[in-house]
């Protein structure tokens, strides 16, 4: 990938998309292509075909898609399944037809079995049943991950690569309570409670599940690293994570400390926890030379400061 290569970032207004734009700009890439949803509906195969025909992007980061936490997955499973598969199918087809040099697709750690050995290796996919609360979303991500292998195999190429980041967080995350992931949801709840002067806060579940978190810019840097080292990648997917996990209770205490909330935390154990633990084995990708550099403490501070500056006035 050269500095003047035409690089298309799909989903550029989202958590990962924003991080990709920042990292690419910092690295000196100048020909970055973006389209807002109002300009290009990625679920529309004909529109995507026309876009690729006219723009001819050489490198594609497919960071667009429908995502959310437990509540959203339980409420909108059909939307998660349809939207993500439609986007993947449209973009994969166009990238192959118009001979994009490389495409990176993003899977999800929820693709792995519910009772998967920890940390989860890439080879663990399909070795057991997946978590029911995120089943539809997981199936769409499995489909995209297998599609990378299938396109490479059928067309005798290696242009499609799937990266599987664990729970991402950072500025521009989705902080809506009904659709956010756990970390963004905690940040909003604590800051909201602090701003409103509430003396107690109720959180979903038991707080026992353990989760690994990776800062969005670290995933963006891993993505650019993968593009720049594409000749070293195999026809498989690669886990991307931080290498450490925390219980949701530990995470809540960390967010409490960063936000300064001094009230009481209560846990609603009647609400679902989801998978007990999700820690990725990232040794396959790290062996290529990449390492994350943002600690959870550092990332939390940056994310909370961004939320306070950009979102609190809108609550």
The whole-angstrom separation of Cα 139 and Cα 293 is: 31
Query: Does 137 map to a domain?
Result: yes
pLDDT range class, residue 191, cuts 50, 70, 90: very high
Give yes or no for a contact between 69 and 181, defined as CB atoms under 8 angstroms apart: yes
210-215 and 245-247 strand pairing: antiparallel
Q: Is the pLDDT of residue 178 over 80?
A: no
CATH number, position 240: 3.40.50.720
Query: Does 266 map to a domain?
Result: yes
Count the domains in the chain.
1
Give yes or no for a contact between 30 and 59, defined as CB atoms under 8 angstroms apart: no
59-62 and 277-278 strand pairing: unpaired
Please name which of 72, 193, 84 lies closest in space to residue 134, comparing C-alpha atoms.
72
Catalytic residue chosen out of the listed positions 112, 137, 215, 261: 137
Q: What are the E-state strand segments in the chain? A: 6-10, 31-33, 59-62, 102-106, 160-165, 167-169, 200-204, 210-215, 237-240, 245-247, 264-268, 277-278
Q: Which two tokens stand for residue 137?
A: 């979303």
The whole-angstrom separation of Cα 100 and Cα 98 is: 6
What pLDDT is stored for residue 208 in this prediction?
A: 93
The whole-angstrom separation of Cα 89 and Cα 161 is: 15
**How large a percentage of the chain has pLDDT more than 90?**
86
Over residues 215-230, mean pLDDT? 97
pLDDT range class, residue 209, cuts 50, 70, 90: very high
Query: Does 1 map to a domain?
Result: no
Place of tokens 């550092």: 298
pTM, rounded to two decimals = 0.94
Bridge partners, residue 8, by sequence: 33, 60
Q: Is 137 a catalytic residue?
A: yes
What pLDDT is stored for residue 180 in this prediction?
A: 84
Place of tokens 């003396």: 199
Q: Quickly count: other Cβ atoms within 10 Å of residue 194's Cβ.
A: 18
What pLDDT is stored for residue 118 in this prediction?
A: 95
**How large a percentage of the chain has pLDDT more than 70?**
99
Q: Is the pLDDT of residue 16 over 70?
A: yes
Burial group, residue 175, by CB count within 10 angstroms (0-12, 13-18, 19+):
buried
Query: Does 291 map to a domain?
Result: yes
Place of tokens 């530990």: 250
pLDDT in tens, 266-279: 999 888 888 899 99
pLDDT range class, residue 195, cuts 50, 70, 90: confident
What pLDDT is stored for residue 62 in this prediction?
A: 98
What pLDDT is stored for residue 179 in this prediction?
A: 80
Over residues 73-82, mean pLDDT? 94
Query: Does 271 map to a domain?
Result: yes
Ramachandran angles phi, psi of 68, nearest 5°: 175, 175
As a whole number, the mean pLDDT across the chain is 94
pLDDT range class, residue 69, cuts 50, 70, 90: confident
Query: Does 140 map to a domain?
Result: yes
Please name which of 203, 201, 198 lies closest in space to residue 270, comparing C-alpha atoms.
203
Q: Which domain holds residue 24?
A: 6-314
Place of tokens 């926890």: 273
pLDDT in tens, 138-170: 999 999 999 999 999 999 999 999 999 999 999
């Amino acid at each position: 990938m050269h500095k003047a290569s035409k690089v298309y970032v799909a989903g550029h207004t989202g958590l990962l998309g924003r991080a990709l734009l920042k990292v690419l700009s910092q690295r000196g890439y100048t020909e970055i292509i973006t389209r807002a949803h109002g300009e290009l509906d990625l679920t529309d195969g004909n529109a995507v075909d026309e876009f690729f025909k006219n723009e001819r992007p050489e490198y594609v980061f497919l960071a667009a898609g429908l995502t959310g936490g437990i509540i959203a997955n339980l409420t909108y499973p059909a939307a998660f399944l349809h939207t993500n598969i439609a986007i993947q199918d449209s973009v994969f087809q166009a990238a192959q037809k118009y001979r994009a040099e490389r495409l990176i697709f993003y899977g999800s750690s929820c693709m792995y079995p519910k009772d998967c050995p920890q940390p989860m290796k890439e080879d663990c996919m399909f070795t057991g049943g997946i978590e029911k609360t995120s089943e539809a979303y997981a199936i769409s991500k499995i489909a995209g991950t297998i599609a990378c292998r299938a396109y490479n195999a059928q067309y005798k190429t290696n242009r499609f690569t799937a990266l599987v980041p664990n729970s991402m967080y950072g500025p521009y995350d989705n902080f809506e309570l009904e659709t956010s992931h756990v970390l963004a949801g905690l940040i909003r709840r604590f800051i909201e409670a602090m701003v409103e002067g509430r003396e107690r806060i109720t959180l979903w579940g038991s707080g026992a599940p353990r989760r690994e978190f990776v800062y969005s810019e670290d995933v963006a840097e891993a993505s650019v690293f993968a593009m720049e080292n594409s000749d070293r990648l195999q026809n498989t997917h690669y886990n991307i994570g931080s290498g450490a996990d925390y219980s949701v209770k530990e995470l809540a205490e960390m967010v409490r400390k960063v936000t300064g909330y001094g009230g009481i935390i209560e846990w609603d154990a009647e609400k679902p926890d989801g998978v007990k633990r999700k820690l990725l084995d990232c040794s396959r990708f790290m062996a290529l030379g990449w390492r994350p550099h943002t600690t959870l403490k550092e990332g939390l501070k940056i994310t909370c400061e961004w939320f306070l500056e950009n979102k609190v006035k809108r609550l």
